[in-house]
Structure 1
Amino acid sequence: MSTDYQQARAALGARLRELRLSCPGGRLTGRHLALRLGWPGSKVSKLENGKQTATPEDLRAWAEATEQPGAFPELAARLTGFESHIRSWRRALANGFKPLHEGLSAEIERTTQLWVWEESVIAGLLQTPEYARHVLQRYSELLGGADDIEDAVRARVQRQQWLYRPGRTLHVLMWEAALRSLICPPSVLAAQLDRLTGLLGMDTVELGVIPFTAAVKIVPANGFWVLDDRLVVAEDWHAELWLDDTDNLTLYRKVWQTLRESALYGADAHNVINAARRSLNPR
């Protein structure tokens, strides 16, 4: 993952290494610091090499163990600055859609359980090529910079092979708005909804729909993906957020489970999809 987030995490790791090597009592080896902290040596290595996101408690303990407690405010500020991932859409799309798709596809490839929430668009792993083309075109028009839409469509469709591999499961929730938003021509949305009904019986797809009439316990907003309780990928208008700390993973799973309580499955979900489909061809 080559992103602003990862670069910032690597920079924090380099700063932690500086503190270890500049310990007033004498430079510490990674093993000695791990012993002081009561951590496995691998944790020290992962933090210094930007392979793991530190918690505020980790940073405070590190500053104290390296005999430089005054460094904690600086470390905490660094963490706050990148904890919410800063991969700007405008900067990312300056290089086209391809790098964006490659980064997420690589993460999905090593994922076995994927939880998705979408409030206003069909989940990417379930999109038809034509529907995906219109969605990507809209983003390109809004943010500018990307002219490789056809390559992006092909990449998105190729990513869907994940659904057909043994041992993988997609748990996807969508608000009814996603079934009715005319981000594309009605004929394209109709074909997309037909695809959804065909996926309802797949053993690798658990599809839930929250109808407009359902009581909800939380505002149905902000689409996100949770990959194996390992990584959250969430989207906002200005950026894509990659979050891998325990607190955020727990929060997003709680949000997903709360939304799930309002969802319909099986024949009931099919009825909601069919109602949206019929509205496109009123008689």
Structure 2
Amino acid sequence: MSASPSSSAQAAREVLAARLGDLRKDAELTGHELALRCGWSPAKSSRIERAKTPASDADIRAWCKACGAEDQTADLIAANRQADQMYVHWKKLHRHGMRRAQEEIVPLYERTRHFRVYCSNVVPGMLQTEAYATALLSTIATFQGTPDDSATAAASRIERSRVLHEGNHRFALLMEETVLRYRIGDAATMAGQLGYLLAVMALPNVSLGVIPFTAQRRVWPLEAFYLFDDRQASVELLTAAVNVSAPSEIAVYAKAFSELSKIAVHGSDARALITEAIDSLG
């Protein structure tokens, strides 16, 4: 099994910690001497330098000042914030409701030319109907204990999905057959959602594949992930969104998508699975 996606953020923090350690050594300070200059315990210096405790902006300012390296402060704070953005807790992202989170990623959607999306749990956001999105987002808000603005957030999600029909975008989407069977909302909501999948498959810029229950697995079911060109991978965990930008990690997700594509069915075979799911609603 691979390491948790949150390891990307931890790796970035370890790089930052190493840079702080180098500043201390260049200043010829011991950890104890640094702590005295910063006004905190030696244990804190050690935890920061070993990447056991994330450094705050204030910590970095104090560290750089103690080492006579104030000119490094801005770059190190920027690196620290970038590490934090890799791993964003949903409750923090949704603390004012979910509509804003939908709107904030519109620029990313607009500049992406090639989307590769894999979902093992729900219909990909860009293919959701408004009723399905409302039911799903309301459930998420209740579970997270965050403000329930699911109706307006769903409307924003649908507006964001205009990239399917506007601009020069290509979409390759994969979902497990289980996604077709999980009941999000009532039977009418699911029927409308599955019917919409059949309609969107006809778009010339959309490739939609379904991985059947019976497929011989080349890759085990994974967490949902979105690839935006070759620049970013966004991974959805229960508690957080992980944004990966390291080329080596993006390549791993691209490889996983390629392998999953090989066991998916497309075209008439995919339509048959969707139709069967509709028929099962009764």
TM-score (norm 1): 0.71
Alignment RMSD, CA only? Answer: 3.2
Secondary structure of 2:105's counterpart equals: helix
AA in 1 matched with 2:93 = A
Once residues 209 and 191 of structure 1 are traced to their aligned partners in structure 2, the CA distance between those partners, rounded to angstroms, is 18
Aligned AA (1:106): P
**For residues 185 and 246 of structure 2, what CA distance do their matches in structure 1 show?**
36
1:156 is aligned with what amino acid? R
Identical aligned residues as a percent: 28
Q: Matched residues in 1 for 2:220 and 2:266: separation?
A: 20
Per-residue CA distance 1:200-230 (angstroms, 9 max, x = gap):
1111111000110111111112001000110
- Corresponding residue for 2:102? 101
Question: Aligned to 1:140, what secondary structure does the other structure show?
Answer: helix
Q: Which amino acid aligns with 1:154?
A: A
Match runs of 1:61-140 below 5 Å: 82=83, 85-140=86-141
Asked if the contact 1:84/1:243 (under 8 Å) is kept, the reply is no
| Alignment match, 2:230 | 229
Q: CA deviation at 1:19?
A: 7.3
Shift of 1:104: 2.2
Task: Kindly provide the amino acid, as one letter, of the partner of residue 186 in structure 1.
Answer: A
Deviations 1:132-175 (CA, angstroms, capped at 9, x unpaired):
00110111011011222222111100011101124211110000
Could you tell me which residue of structure 2 aligns to residue 44 of structure 1? none
Q: Which amino acid aligns with 1:174?
A: M
The two structures have a TM-score, normalised by structure 2, of 0.71
| CA positional deviation for 1:255 | 0.8
CA contact (8 A) 2:100 2:153 kept: no
1:243 is aligned to: 244
Match of residue 154 from structure 1: 155
| AA in 1 matched with 2:96 | N
The amino acid that maps onto 2:183 is L
One-letter amino acid matched to 1:125: M
Which residue in the other structure is 2:268 paired with? Answer: 267
One-letter code aligned to 1:266: G
Tell me, yes or no, if structure 1 residue 191 matches structure 2 residue 192.
Answer: yes
Q: Is the 8 A contact 1:83 1:243 kept in 2?
A: no
- In structure 1, what is the Cα distance between the partners aligned to 2:144 and 2:247? 32
Cα separation, 2, equivalents of 1:111 and 1:19? 38
Q: Distance in 1 between matches of 2:85 and 2:101?
A: 17
Which deviates the most, 249-258 or 87-96? 87-96
- Preserved CA contact (<8 Å) 1:93 1:144: no
2:175 partner amino acid: M
For the 8 Å contact 1:125–1:157, the answer to whether it is kept is yes
- Residue identity opposite 2:236 in structure 1: E
Partner of residue 180, structure 2: 179
**Residue matched to 1:29:** none
- Offset of 1:23 from its aligned partner? 7.0
Which stretches of structure 1, 4 residues or more, deviate above 6 A after TM superposition?
15-20
Contact 2:114 2:228 in 1 (8 A): yes
Could you report, residue by residue, the CA deviation over 1:10-51 in whole angstroms, capped at 9, with x for unpaired residues?
9x88x969979x977xxxxxxxxxxxxxxxxxxxxxxxxxxx
8 Å CA contact retained: 1:124, 1:132: yes
Aligned to 1:63: none
Write the letter of the residue equivalent to 1:131: Y
Once residues 220 and 150 of structure 1 are traced to their aligned partners in structure 2, the CA distance between those partners, rounded to angstroms, is 30
Amino acid at match of 1:259: L
Residue 124 of structure 1 and its aligned partner are, at CA, apart by: 0.7
**What is the aligned length?**
224
Mark the runs of 5 or more structure 2 residues left unpaired by the alignment.
1-7, 28-68, 70-75
Q: Work out whether residues 99 and 154 of structure 2, in 8 Å CA contact, stay in contact via their aligned partners in 1.
A: no
Is 1:144 matched up with 2:145? yes
Contact 2:177 2:210 in 1 (8 A): yes
Tell me the CA shift for residue 131 of structure 1: 0.3
Question: Who is 2:209 aligned against?
Answer: 208
Q: Secondary structure at the match of 1:261?
A: helix
